[in-house]
A and B are shown apart, each in its own frame.
Chain A
Amino acid sequence: MSRWRFLLVFAAAMVLLWIAPLVLPLGDYTHDVVGLTFMFMAAALAWNWLGGYVGQISFGHAAMFGVGGFVAARLMLSSGLPFVVAWLAGGLVAGVFGLLWGHPTLRLRGPYFSIATIGVGEATRLVATYWSDFTGGSSGLSLPLAGNPTKYQLYWYGLYLLGAAVLISYGLRRSRIGLGLAAIKEDVDAAGDVGVNPTLYQDLVLFLSGTMVGICGGFYASYQAFIDPQDMFSFDRSIGLILMAVIGGIGTVLGPVWGAVVFVIIQEFLLATYSELYLGLYGALLILIILFEPLGLTGLVQRVHRLLLRRPATAASSGAPLTADRRPT
């Protein structure tokens, strides 16, 4: 898809989604859940910048989500900063925090990096749980209702967050940096030989990813008006981001967006009945995707598209990741 066509479709989609709640009879609950889904989409896209574009699978992004959320919450509670400023500040702190642990650990590749991120995530959760002066400990923090946006309004803030994440995803992918990231994903040593600075590029992407996920944490704090370390820093949250990306299509520009939709639909459908069953369903979905369609929903759609047009698969025509390890079909 050409740049202008992409931007046109993007702008049209944003306008339609902006207007939708004003003209469609969405119930209160659906309206709120859609707003929250926008945030999950943005967070999944941000995870994908590191996990999909660079191939560094992080199991510790909940750490940035939590740091962003708690910094934003603390700023709103203690200094009365406007919530948008608090979200941005929380995001920046989360980005810097990501750099602190990421700069040394990004030298690791593959499973070694992933294992390191598990440690980072769990260590951060434990510190946050015991740092009760800052996080409220196991009781968490309640945000003031006055001065916080209503759930109704958060729909549009979530939409803006998603818009920003989509533009960055697209921009990264199409830019010189995107090519560098693809090179790093393919072979980090070879990338260095052709002039790509792997340390700088990976640090930059982790900072961007951490900042966006941190802003999402701030949004979530405002949405729930209450946050606690067990929820914000939970391993489930990190796994959730990975699942959204894998279901939708890891490494693709928009795959995590569709993955987030599926993730939230399953979770909401089962919330009031079999609230723990969704983990089993996600597990089954993950196995099916890995076995039959590594590019997730995006790959499935492309496969159907190719069949309809009777075209052979090419990475360039499909918008698939530049370095995706596609199974022969």
Chain B
Amino acid sequence: MTRSPRHSTVLLGVAVLVLAGCVPDRDDNRDSGATTIPDTIVIGSTLPLTGTESKTGGRFKQGYELAVELENADGGIDLGGTKVPVRLNLLDDTTDQAKAVNLAQRLITQDKVNFFLGTYSTAVVEAQSTVAEQNKIPYVNGGGAATSIYAKGFTWVFGTLAPVANLASTEMSWIDQQQAAGKLPKPARVAIVWENTSHGKDFRKGVQDFTAAHSGGYQVVTDESFALDGKDFSAILSRVRAAHADLLMVDAHLPDFITMQRQYLSSDMCSKVLTYGARGTESDARSALGADGVNYILSAVWWNKQLGNAGLNKEFVDKFTAKYGTDPEWYQALGYEAARSLFTAIAQAGTVDKEQVRAKLSALRMDSILPGGTLSYPADKGGQADYPFVVQQNLPDGSSPIIYPADVATGTGVAPNPACKG
């Protein structure tokens, strides 16, 4: 019996339909890493080396590379008595979330890196950390601060940046002291301007929680958000000006900080207290805006080189200065500590087995250059480190002393901004 082409096609069509009902899967319990000792431990990473966050990405790269260099200077990571050198496989994610995700996927599934050091900026880390969780690879980052990254129940993601809400409340605590000293009006009119990312939302929450807990002391008169990489903030600044805000509390990343501050200055605005969250002391801002353009800006940061001239801090600052010829900022310090904590956990595990290293990271408690002197990734915070911030302020002499809290202060802050008339 011969079959017509129509019959064959129908049969094939039926086969396709049958197949369409099925989607194969595989056992997802993949090998969590070699139990034998490798020749080299390969750390995958991406950073924004080009694009809007390239300046900050370059700083994190310095921190990562210094940590790797210092580790290798000693022969590498000690795996049960054998020193194994570390190699950093670092790619440029161009400050693009989708690209950061795709590159991480490639590094993990194609290049088979052993562990991962995360990228920079909350929005990009938020995207990329999902890949680490999907592929069950320890992921330590120094660039993602928003609590939403750590509230997803992920178990492979660890962050060295303390929550942004703490940043805002620490700044507000200093402001509260100034208000109590009669230097700022009571109630003070507060303008909150925040980037509409998880980072900005945390900052806004920090300010709102503080003002709510100190009712009578503060009145929020403006609450505005903006998209990342903005070009024109004049409408927002006009509303802030119209609201006669005393305190302008902005949360912005470096490019938006520089753009907004330029427009703030050209609008001849002057707030009694002005902050851009963690930004303010960067040399790029000083060169873009001029030394006078950044005077009296308040910022709260995760690390400052004035924190100590002894121990780990001194070692880090000296080695950094010797290698790069400049002083480190918090960006490099956080990159350095993220890498160092990963290396410490690998050494404690004595193996490159991912599951064992993850367990060591979860239980980690190590001496650190960060405020408080100890770094850990508490499980109740979803793997996000939690430690106090330091508040610093740019002064006309070009310095940016730590002004709060008192036990680590290296200078005295100024409020209200003396440049403001009236």
Contact = CB atoms under 8 A, between A and B. Distances in A.
Contact of B103 (A14, A231, A272, A276): A272
Interface string B85-118: 0000001101011110111011001100000000
A32 interface: yes
Interface stretch (B127-135, B158-166, B211-219, B287-295): B127-135
Given A18-B19, A151-B134, A225-B134, A139 B122 contact: yes
B8 interface: yes
Residue of A11, A150, A231 contacting most chain B CB atoms (<10 Å) = A11
Interface stretch (A2-10, A195-203, A206-214): A2-10
B29 to A, nearest CB: 13
Contacts of B101: 224, 226
B196 A130 contact: yes
B13 A32 contact: no
B196 A22 contact: no
B356 to A, nearest CB: 22
Nearest to A136: B198
A18 B18 CA distance: 11
A101 interface: no
Given A4-B6, A15-B19, A271-B106, A138 B197 contact: yes
B152 interface: yes
A7 B8 CA distance: 10
Contacts of B96: 231
Contacts of B133: 145
Interface string A213-227: 000000000001110
Interface stretch (B20-28, B278-286, B364-372, B400-408): B20-28
Nearest to B14: A11
A128 to B, nearest CB: 10
B42 interface: no
Contacts of B26: 152
A38 to B, nearest CB: 13
Contact of B225 (A8, A137, A226, A231): A137
B97 A231 contact: yes
Given A29-B106, A140-B123, A150 B9 contact: no
B12 interface: yes
B130 A225 contact: yes
A157 B146 CA distance: 33
B263 interface: no
B218 to A, nearest CB: 24
B12 A12 contact: yes
Contacts of A156: 22-24
B5 A139 contact: no
A249 B16 CA distance: 27
Q: Interface size bucket, B side?
A: 35 or more
B368 to A, nearest CB: 28
A275 B225 CA distance: 31
A139 B197 contact: yes
A230 B52 CA distance: 14
A152 B134 CA distance: 11
A228 B123 contact: yes
Nearest to B13: A11
Interface in A111-147: 126, 129-130, 132, 136-140, 142-143, 145
Contacts of A28: 109-110
Interface string B11-46: 011011001101111101000000000000000000
A27 B12 contact: no
Nearest to A274: B92
B386 interface: no
B184 interface: no
Interface string A266-296: 0000011001100000000000000000000
Residue of B8, B23, B94 contacting most chain A CB atoms (<10 Å) = B23
Nearest to A36: B102
A163 B109 CA distance: 27
Contacts of B197: 137-139
A137 B101 CA distance: 18
A35 to B, nearest CB: 11
Contact of A8 (B8, B126, B148): B8
A187 B146 CA distance: 56
Given A8-B5, A137-B225, A29 B110 contact: yes
A129 B23 contact: no
Interface in A8-45: 8, 11-12, 14-15, 18, 21-22, 27-30, 32
A4 B110 CA distance: 40
Interface string A161-177: 00100000000000000
Given A132-B196, A139-B146, A228-B97, A271 B102 contact: yes
A226 B127 contact: yes
Contacts of B12: 7-8, 11-12, 15
A29 B109 contact: yes
B30 to A, nearest CB: 9
B93 to A, nearest CB: 8
A153 B23 contact: yes
B70 interface: no
B415 interface: no
Interface string A54-71: 000000000000000000
A163 B350 CA distance: 49
Nearest to B100: A226
A153 B24 contact: yes
A230 B229 CA distance: 11
Interface string B190-212: 00000111110100000000000
14 contacts: A5-B5, A8-B8, A29-B109, A130-B225, A132-B225, A139-B148, A139-B199, A145-B133, A152-B25, A153-B25, A271-B99, A272-B91, A275-B92, A275-B99
Top 3 nearest A-B pairs by Cβ distance?
A: A137-B196, A11-B12, A29-B110
Given A137-B196, A275-B92, A275-B94, 9 more contacts: A29-B105, A29-B106, A129-B196, A138-B197, A151-B134, A228-B97, A271-B103, A271-B106, A275-B99
Interface of B: 5-6, 8-9, 12-13, 15-16, 19-20, 22-26, 28, 50, 91-92, 94, 96-99, 101-103, 105-106, 109-110, 122-123, 126-127, 130-131, 133-134, 146, 148, 152, 195-199, 201, 225, 227-228
